[in-house]
Every structure is written in structure tokens, then in C-alpha cells.
Structure 1
Amino acid sequence: MDAERTESTTRPEEPAVSRVEQWENRTEWWLAAAALLFLGAYALPIIDPGIPPWLGNACTVVAALVWVLFAGDLAMRLYLAENRRRYLREHLFDVAIIVLPLLRPLQLLRLVTLLTILNRAGSHQLRGRVVTYLAGGTILLVLCGGLAMTDAERGHPDASIQSVADGLWWAVVTMTTVGYGDMYPVTTMGRYIALALMLGGIALLGVVTATFASWLVEKVSEANEEEEVATRRQVEQLRAEMRALREELQRSSGQPGR
């Protein structure tokens, strides 16, 4: 009993989970499903402009309901937070997701929730989280950039981007900084979208470069450690052989007639 008491008193206490964290753990996958539903409702009228009016209205209703859901989630987190003003200052981006999407392309900010959940569900190692976040961010950035650009440019008489395929091709070319120049935005909204995609592409390329460099450094370090271990093992073997030879010589010199 004393040993159990001693163990219980010396065992480190686990950090308490706040009410906000409990709420986030219960709702994060529901919010991810809502974000995917919103992506479908946003993309369908852009992919097929000739959809029936009732289906277009349904997509509008779904997008509005998802906005209400996200706004309610933020309101609940503020209600559960111990210091509401501090929580609000530390989560300004969540507020922006609710307040800013008055313009149609900015509504895609709601998909950032997917990146947050991917980051939590990724590997426990830092590099694993970075790779998971990077892969998800790249896919979402290309998809959202292509959709938003198509929505902004389609129908303009001088626009070269008139379909989703054109928008996705432009997004990949722009994000990778290739810049063929075969397609480019001509509307003001399209240029703002291009600016955001350029900045996002540069940031992703920087993360890729840093992650790859870190991986190379780790591999070189592991190879050096293996070589050092092998060298130490060989040195120990040589020392053992030298000790054995020294002992053999001492025994031989101590024998008579030698």
C-alpha cells in the first residue's frame, strides 16, 4: 500500500483538458464533414453552370447552413472559454472565417478547418505533421484556387480561363511558379485570387525545401552515427586482440627455455 501511495504521489499529473478542448475533440470531425459538404455545394455550380435552378438554390442553402454551423461553433467556444477576450484575440483567424466570407471566393476559408484536423490526425512526429499538413494544403490550395479563379473569370469576354480544367491548370502553373503565361486573370477579383495563390505557393515551396533539407541532414547524421558505431566496434576488437597478444607474449616469456 505504501509503495502504491508513493507511486501515485510521484507520478506526474496529466494536464487537465479545458472545456474548449473537449468541445473541439467532440466536434472537429463533424466540422470537417461540414467543410467537405460546403466544398461540394460551392464547386457544383462552378463545375456545371447548367444545373437546374432548384439544385443551385440547394447549394446556396447548404453553404448558408454551413456558415451558421461554423458561427455557432465559434460562439460555443467563446462561451466555454475561461477568458473570452483572450481566446478571441488568439483565434482571430477563426473570426475571419465567419466575418470575411461576404465575397464568394473568401467563403473557401472555411476549408482551413480540414487542414487543422489533418494536422491533429497526422503523425506525432513534427516532420510527419508537416508532411500531412503540406499534402493537404497543396491539394486544397490548387482545388480552391482553380475553382475561385474559374468563378471569377468565366463569362468575361477577354478571359482565357473559362472552365474548371483551365482554372486547375492555371492554379498548378501559378503555384509552382512556372508561369507559362498561356492563361492569366483579367478581372480584379481574379488578380486578387492570383496574388493569394502566389503567396501560398511560395510558402508551400519554402516548407517543401526546408522539410527536404531537414530529411537530408537527418539521413547524413544517421549514416555518420552508424559509421562511428562501426569504427568503435572495430577499435574495441583491435584492443581485445592486442590484449590477448600481450597476455600470450607474457605467458611465453615467463616459460623456461624460451
Structure 2
Amino acid sequence: MSDQPSDPAPLSFRRWEQRTEVPLLVVSLVFLLGYAVRVLAPAGAGFWRDLALVLVCAAWLVFVGDYVVRLRLSGLGIRFVRVHWLDTVVLLLPLLRPLRLIRLYTAVQRHRRQPRLSLYARVMAYAGVSALLLGFSAALAVYHQEHTAAGASIRTFGDSVWWACATLTTVGYGDAVPVTPSGRVVASGLMACGLALLGAVTGSFSSWMLQVFRREDEKRPPEGG
């Protein structure tokens, strides 16, 4: 019986992913910074807005190049789009790249014998960082679409941040809501991500508490009959 590798991906594909995880994270942050400047810079700051647009376009071209290289190295052909569907979604919606943070963390841990954080701490840390980045990205996107729309209740970036916090925490006060179709699409995605991240944090915290109580019970001497 022939030995089969635990990871079916070609070696060249895995090496490419390992070498590009950190650079792509830097490019992702450049994209987010450029998009933030493009959205938040005043109308009179023409130079900075143009520079931000160049950064956004250049970063997206890097994402496209990485996607094409990974598609060719995977050996899957067109099936790569279906198998790596999250990568395809992230390519079309680059503001969702924070969802790939878990892969960067995994790549870093390959160089260590043991993770520095426990499983529960890792889940909560990843969920917390993802929530911050996704909330900021969603606030930028919604503000971009809403602040000039007729009848909009989100007029300032502060309003947008407040809306993102209420949406991520599933509170939903209703005092600030998107009115444009694209703004509501962003809101729907943030709702889904908020539920998933909140569930991950709540489940991990509950499991950690149960583990602590179980250890305390095991240390407690048995009661006399």
C-alpha cells in the first residue's frame, strides 16, 4: 500500500502558501488603509485620495496574481474555484480578508513545537481580532455607500462605527440602519459573521469554564458517608 500525504495539495502549492502568508497580510493591511483614506479623506484632499486609490488597485492586483499562481500550482484546474471557495469570495470582496487570519496563525505555529495559547484562548483571540477588523471594514463600506444617500440615518463615520458595533453584537438598536441595497448587503454579511464569531467566543468561554469547574471537582476530597 502506497503512502499518501496527509495534505493532498502539491508541495509547490504548500510552499507558495507558506511563503506568501505574511506578505499577503501586509498587502491586506495596505488595502484596508488605502480604502480607509479613500473613504474618509475630505473632498479637497485630491492627492491623498488618488494615492489611496492607487494603493487599493495595486493591492488588489497582488491578490489576483496570488490567486492565479495558487490556481495553477494546485493542479485542480477550474475545480480550484469550488474547492477554495473562501479564497474566491475574498478575491471578489477584499475587505473580507481578515477571515484568513486563522491561516496566518497556523503558518506561524508551524515554526513552534507548541502553541503559546490554549485552544480556547486561540479561538477567542482569533474571533476578537476578526470582529475588530470586520467591524471596521464594514463600517467603512457602509459609510461609503450611505452617507450621501437620500433618507440615510448613517451620515458620519461615527454613526457607521456605532451601527457596526450594534450589528456585530446582535443588539441592533435600529437607530442607524442602511437604506441602500449595497449597504444592506454589507449589513447581511456582517450579521452572519457576528453570529458566527459571537457563537465561537461564547462556546469557547463556556467550554473553558466547564473545564475549570471539572478540575476543581476533581481536586475536592470525596465527602464522607
The TM-score bracket by the shorter chain reads 0.7 to 0.9
Alpha-carbon displacement from aligned partner over 1:213-258 (angstroms, at most 9, x marks no partner): 101111111112222xx55xx9xxxxxxxxxxxxxxxxxxxxxxxx
* Contact 2:41-2:48 within 8 A present in 1 as well: no
Q: Which residue of 2 aligns with 1:190?
A: 183
* Contact 1:115-1:137 within 8 A present in 2 as well: no
Question: Aligned letter for 2:182?
Answer: M
* CA-based RMSD: 2.6
Question: Aligned letter for 1:81?
Answer: S
Q: Which residue of 1 aligns with 2:159?
A: 166
Q: Which residue of 2 aligns with 1:75?
A: 68
Cα 1:221–1:86 change in 2 (3 A) is farther
Greater CA radius of gyration, 1 or 2? 1
2:103 corresponds to 1:116: yes
Cα 1:97–1:179 change in 2 (3 A) is closer
Q: Distance in 2 between matches of 1:109 and 1:201?
A: 13
Q: Distance in 2 between matches of 1:82 and 1:134?
A: 32
Q: Which residue of 2 aligns with 1:155?
A: 148
Q: TM-score, normalised by structure 1?
A: 0.73
**Following superposition of structure 1 onto structure 2, how do residues 1-258 of structure 1 map, counting pairs within 5 Å?**
18-85=11-78, 87-98=80-91, 100=92, 106-118=93-105, 120-121=107-108, 123=115, 125-227=118-220, 230-231=221-222
The gaps in structure 2 that reach 5 residues or longer are 110-114
Q: Distance in 2 between matches of 1:204 and 1:114?
A: 13
Q: Aligned residues, how many? A: 212
Q: Distance in 2 between matches of 1:204 and 1:113?
A: 14
Q: Give how far 1:208 is off.
A: 1.8
The gaps in structure 1 that reach 5 residues or longer are 1-13, 101-105, 235-258
Alpha-carbon displacement from aligned partner over 1:127-185 (angstroms, at most 9, x marks no partner): 23312221111101211111111011011231121121110011101221222222111
Q: Which residue of 1 aligns with 2:112?
A: none
Cα 1:52–1:134 change in 2 (3 A) is same
* Contact 1:142-1:171 within 8 A present in 2 as well: yes
Question: Aligned letter for 2:179?
Answer: V
* Contact 1:174-1:198 within 8 A present in 2 as well: yes
Q: Give how far 1:201 is off.
A: 1.4
Q: TM-score, normalised by structure 2?
A: 0.83
Question: Aligned letter for 1:62?
Answer: L
Q: Give how far 1:94 is off.
A: 1.0
Aligned residues: percent identity?
35
* Contact 1:47-1:163 within 8 A present in 2 as well: no
